[in-house]
Amino acid sequence: MASLARLATIEVGQVKGLGGKRSKGLADVGIGTVADLLHHVPRRYIDRSRKEPISRVPIGSEVTIIGKVVSVRDRRPRRNLHIIEATIEDDSARIKSVWFNQSYLVRQLQNADEVALSGVVENFRGSLQMKAPAVDVLSGDAEGLTVGRVVPVHPGAGGVSPGYLRRAIHNALGRARPIEDAIPPELLAANGLMDRDRAFEAIHFPETLEDVAPARKRLVYDELFRLELALAMQKRHQMESSVGISHETDGDLASRFLEGLPYELTGAQERVLTEIDRDLKARHPMHRLLQGEVGSGKTVVAVATLFRGIEGGWQGALMAPTEVLAEQHYLGVRGLLADAGLSPALGDSHLGMDSLFSEQPEGPAVHVALLTGSTASANYNPDIGRAALAGDIAAGQVDLVVGTHALIQEGVSFSRLGVAVVDEQHRFGVAQRVLLREKADVAEPDLLIMTATPIPRTLSMTLYGDLDVSIIDEMPPGRTPVTTKLMSKVEERAAWKTIADEVEKGRQAFVVCPLVDDSPKIEAASATAEHERLAALMPELRVGLIHGQLRPADKEQVMAGFRAGEIDVLVSTTVIEVGIDVPNATVMVIEDAQRFGLSQLHQLRGRVGRGEHPGACILLADPTTDEGEERLAAMVGTNDGFRLAEEDLRIRGQGTVFGTRQSGMKDLKLADILADFELLTVARRDAFALVDSDPTLRSHPELRDEVAAMLGDEVEWLFVS
Ligand code: ADP
Ligand code: MG
């Protein structure tokens, strides 16, 4: 009887047939132990009972035929071209098959007598032919693994062929079985899951194809359950090991702020604020992800959250991913303060001569400052320098600091940081969270992470599984959805006409220039050229330019000009991707839109339609790939960010998504978080309930060992007592 935890300590090299070079190749692709090997499951199965006799294969459809190799030939009609031809026969007929430049097949086919070919059958000059079918060698094994009704096809890995892996896994299973079951039996019963030992047997070597699905379900559940257990324990650990702040949220700063707003909060904003309040009052630090579409009103919620902390005497920090955004947030917060009567109106100066005679106007009730790599400013002293401001922050003179992530990275020290809000989480990783935690000398600040990139629920349950999630799923009233159109580059004149028409009506427009190979320099140059071209094309309009290579002060000047309506058309690179809020801008033209990712396109589009006037987004694009076409079609088809995010996940696959978060969380081997979403929900519920009743899994030692062994390094610290 072997446990998975034990099998995770045995190297694949120990398996018969996998010594030496093979074990190294496998280890390189993440199959280092016997447990890993057992999770390397077949990609497909060949069902002998469903094979087509060659004489009756339907032309034009995908089939699998099984037969003997009659002949193999490697022709070289010219340099760099190999044509491999093989003839296969079964009891009914013969068929020819051809491959190009796959010379390695020659030996495989010569040594095999029985093969399965999967592909499309064509009629080629009057005879049947398969072009480049997938080849599975069936014969040549002493164990008789390929004569049963169902033959598993394990994907080749690390230079080891499918046939070889089939035999090795058979050996490994034979030695390892029976495999111990660490999952509590009541959970298996409740979820109708089969026995683990049988599941391993059935997924690798099923008797019939019908055995595969329940086996897979069982193993996928196990994988997701282990992941969710780790997340639940991590969350628990965070809660118990860190000292947070019980904010007293009964001051009147936040409520005065909210009452002073010129509009009512939406139901969703109210609900989210209640969720946040609960966290703020609680003793353990908040780790909450706030999701909401662009324009759904996250900023107001964030500011109210910060004020809750400030009214109890703590400092707040609001962090944005770029300087432009930080500056905009700073202006936004000042505007909100003025709206709520908590600060002198923007631009007011109380230093003039008049002040000697009139009553001294009150200073701002909340001291807000902006601190970025290049700018320092404060609402109680616009001319403050960086050093003075840093001193004020350290002395506790500043209530709220707005800045870039550099705020926590560049040794700014707070006297009592109580609440931190991070905008646009996808650039704020786990490492930054750790840094933030280190900022705290007394107690760990509460953390709210805002994102307008809708994260599919599948991901918020896995990648972000240790965060609590609040969702603003309602837009402020009176928004009109943005209409999106796809146009070919040759129709661009129509796009410029749309812009001219909108400007005629007093509106403004964005033109987003193509991404250039990850090079901000080249990107800036191409935006500059495009700006010139468009300025010449639309001589009657005021065309401005902004890109990442401008000095921050110049960037801010351009943005200020655009906000003030002094620029009609703003040509820009993706620096405007996040957060820019200019309600009078109603059209956006995105050039070469096929080069952008789906979530980026959606972010960009969110810059228009933010005011009372309907917005339009024109995608100028000539997609050259299916994937590009799918993305653009999705953009035209929906404005729903969550649907787009799921679509994106579907198009790109989960691997790339997992790769983008430096969480160290290993890729899932079996589960597909989109297809297995229901099982994920169940596994998460079960795991969190179990950790609630047994926080360190003390009464489930086998399970504890299994999680530690299977998730490896990333969770090791969970188990140091
Ligand atoms: P987000 O940060 O989610 O993209 P913002 O907080 O910037 O959205 O809000 C977008 C716009 O909507 C802002 O101009 C803001 O003043 C306005 N707004 C926010 N909440 C409401 C509301 N409840 N009713 C009306 N307008 C609102
Ligand atoms: Mg925002």
Alpha carbons 374 and 363: distance in angstroms, whole number: 26
pLDDT at 369: 95
pLDDT at 578: 55
Centre of ligand 2 to C-alpha 290, Å, is: 11
With a cut of 70, say whether residue 349 has pLDDT above it.
no
| Probe residue for ligand 1, chosen from 299, 334, 603 as the CB with the greatest number of ligand atoms within 8 Å | 299
Average pLDDT over residues 164-187: 94
Alpha carbons 12 and 244: distance in angstroms, whole number: 45
Q: Would you list the DSSP string of 8-54? A: TTSBGGGSTT--HHHHHHHHHTT--BHHHHHT---SEEEEGGGPPPG
Q: Which string of b and e fits 562-588 if b means at least 16 CB within 10 Å? A: bbeeebbbbbbbbbbbbbbbbbbbbbb
Alpha carbons 161 and 140: distance in angstroms, whole number: 13
Centre of ligand 1 to C-alpha 279, Å, is: 23
pLDDT at 346: 46
pLDDT at 239: 76
With a cut of 60, say whether residue 355 has pLDDT above it.
no
Q: Is the dihedral of CA 57, 58, 59, 63 positive or negative?
A: negative
With a cut of 60, say whether residue 274 has pLDDT above it.
yes
Residue 155, preceding peptide bond in cis (omega within 30° of 0): no
Pairing of β 62-78 and β 114-124: antiparallel
Confidence of residue 577 (pLDDT cuts 50, 70, 90): low
Angle between helices 298-311 and 267-281 (to 10 degrees): 30
Measured from the alpha carbon of residue 302, the closest ligand is 1
pLDDT at 343: 75
3-state secondary structure of 480: coil
pLDDT at 469: 87
pLDDT at 551: 81
pLDDT at 473: 86
Centre of ligand 2 to C-alpha 260, Å, is: 20
Alpha carbons 224 and 677: distance in angstroms, whole number: 10
Nearest CA to ligand 1 atom 19: 297
3-state secondary structure of 665: coil
pLDDT at 613: 86
Alpha carbons 519 and 515: distance in angstroms, whole number: 8
Centre of ligand 1 to C-alpha 141, Å, is: 67
| Probe residue for ligand 1, chosen from 263, 273, 577 as the CB with the greatest number of ligand atoms within 8 Å | 263
pLDDT at 440: 65
Angle value at C-alpha 433, between 390 and 704, nearest 5 degrees? 155
User: Residue 381 — φ and ψ, nearest 5°?
Assistant: -165, 90
**Six-digit token string for 656:** 């790339």
pLDDT in tens, 431-472: 666 666 676 666 888 999 888 776 676 666 666 667 888 989
3-state secondary structure of 677: helix
Nearest CA to ligand 1 atom 27: 476
Alpha carbons 575 and 555: distance in angstroms, whole number: 10
* CA distance from start to end of the chain: 28
pLDDT at 429: 57
Measured from the alpha carbon of residue 301, the closest ligand is 1
Nearest CA to ligand 1 atom 16: 297
Asked if residues 644 and 638 have their Cβ atoms less than 8 Å apart, the reply is yes
Centre of ligand 2 to C-alpha 581, Å, is: 8
Query: CA gyration radius for the chain?
Result: 31
Average pLDDT over residues 579-585: 79
pLDDT at 662: 35
Alpha carbons 492 and 467: distance in angstroms, whole number: 44
With a cut of 60, say whether residue 664 has pLDDT above it.
no
Average pLDDT over residues 215-227: 95
Nearest CA to ligand 1 atom 10: 295
3-state secondary structure of 619: strand
pLDDT at 344: 66
HSE (side-chain half, CA atoms, 13 Å) at 623: 16
What Cα–Cα distance (Å) separates residue 390 from each residue in 163, 171, 386, 442? 66, 66, 6, 19
**Six-digit token string for 653:** 């696959």
Confidence of residue 405 (pLDDT cuts 50, 70, 90): confident
With a cut of 80, say whether residue 674 has pLDDT above it.
no
pLDDT at 354: 39
The residue type found at 458 is: T
Measured from the alpha carbon of residue 579, the closest ligand is 2
The residue type found at 677 is: F
Confidence of residue 381 (pLDDT cuts 50, 70, 90): confident
With a cut of 70, say whether residue 78 has pLDDT above it.
yes
Average pLDDT over residues 246-272: 88
Centre of ligand 1 to C-alpha 55, Å, is: 68
Nearest to 399 by CA among 493, 310, 520: 310
Average pLDDT over residues 72-86: 91
Nearest CA to ligand 1 atom 17: 297
With a cut of 50, say whether residue 419 has pLDDT above it.
yes
Alpha carbons 717 and 706: distance in angstroms, whole number: 15
pLDDT at 654: 61
With a cut of 60, say whether residue 579 has pLDDT above it.
no
Place of tokens 């760099």: 80
pLDDT in tens, 470-505: 989 888 887 777 999 999 999 999 999 999 999 999
Pairing of β 483-487 and β 368-371: unpaired
Point out which residues pair with 119 in neighbouring strands: 63
Average pLDDT over residues 685-702: 94
Confidence of residue 19 (pLDDT cuts 50, 70, 90): confident
Atom of ligand 1 at shortest range from CA of 301: 6
3-state secondary structure of 79: coil
With a cut of 50, say whether residue 665 has pLDDT above it.
no
With a cut of 60, say whether residue 643 has pLDDT above it.
yes
pLDDT at 350: 37
Confidence of residue 348 (pLDDT cuts 50, 70, 90): very low
Measured from the alpha carbon of residue 476, the closest ligand is 1
User: Residue 468 — φ and ψ, nearest 5°?
Assistant: -80, 150
Alpha carbons 551 and 557: distance in angstroms, whole number: 10
Average pLDDT over residues 255-263: 87
pLDDT at 244: 83
- If one compares 609 and 401, the residue with the highest pLDDT of the two is 401
Residues 6+ apart with CB under 8 A from 358: none
pLDDT in tens, 359-379: 445 667 889 999 988 788 898
* Alpha helix positions (H), 64-123: 104-111
With a cut of 50, say whether residue 144 has pLDDT above it.
yes
Measured from the alpha carbon of residue 291, the closest ligand is 1
| Probe residue for ligand 1, chosen from 261, 272, 300 as the CB with the greatest number of ligand atoms within 8 Å | 300
The one-character DSSP state at 697 is -
Alpha carbons 496 and 589: distance in angstroms, whole number: 8
Nearest to 649 by CA among 612, 604, 599: 599
Confidence of residue 253 (pLDDT cuts 50, 70, 90): confident
Centre of ligand 1 to C-alpha 307, Å, is: 17
- Across the chain, mean pLDDT equals 85
With a cut of 90, say whether residue 176 has pLDDT above it.
yes
Report the pocket of ligand 1 as residue ranges, CB < 6 Å.
Answer: 263-266, 269, 292, 294-300, 452, 476, 581, 610
SS3 content of the chain, % helix, strand, coil (to 5): 45, 20, 35
What percentage of the chain exceeds 70 in pLDDT? 87
Asked if residues 679 and 221 have their Cβ atoms less than 8 Å apart, the reply is yes
HSE (side-chain half, CA atoms, 13 Å) at 304: 22
Atom of ligand 1 at shortest range from CA of 294: 4
pLDDT at 36: 93
Q: Three-state SS across 438-486?
A: HHCCCCCCEEEEEECCCCCHHHHCCCCCCCEEEEECCCCCCCCCCEEEE
Confidence of residue 9 (pLDDT cuts 50, 70, 90): very high
